[in-house]
Amino acid sequence: MPIRVRLDRILLERRMSLSELADRVGVTVANLTILKTGKARAVRFSTLEALCRELGCQPGDIVAYEPGPSDDFDEDGTDG
């Protein structure tokens, strides 16, 4: 996916753990891990808003576009 999530870098800069952010944002650690590892297909504005609020940053600090192949739906249940 050409959209890169830079959550780990921001967390490192803020010296905040993933579970702490999950508590503050109201998202499960599992879902935040999906987002952090770039496996998420979409982010709700409400989640993005909460992330920006708690991390004190802009949406552009969390996500970035890097040209690359798009992921298509795979019938095996994985994203290729």
Q: Which of 64, 68, 73, 80 binds another protein (CB under 8 A)?
A: 73
| 14-26 as b/e: b if 16+ CB within 10 A | eeeeeeebbeebe
CB 8 within 8 A of CB 64: no
> 32 in helix, strand or coil?
helix
Give least dist CB 80 to another protein, A: 12
For position 32 contacting another protein by CB under 8 A, the verdict is yes
Residue 42, interface with another protein (CB under 8 A)?
Answer: yes
Which residues make up the interface to another protein (CB under 8 A)? Answer: 27, 31-32, 34-35, 39-44, 47, 73-77, 79
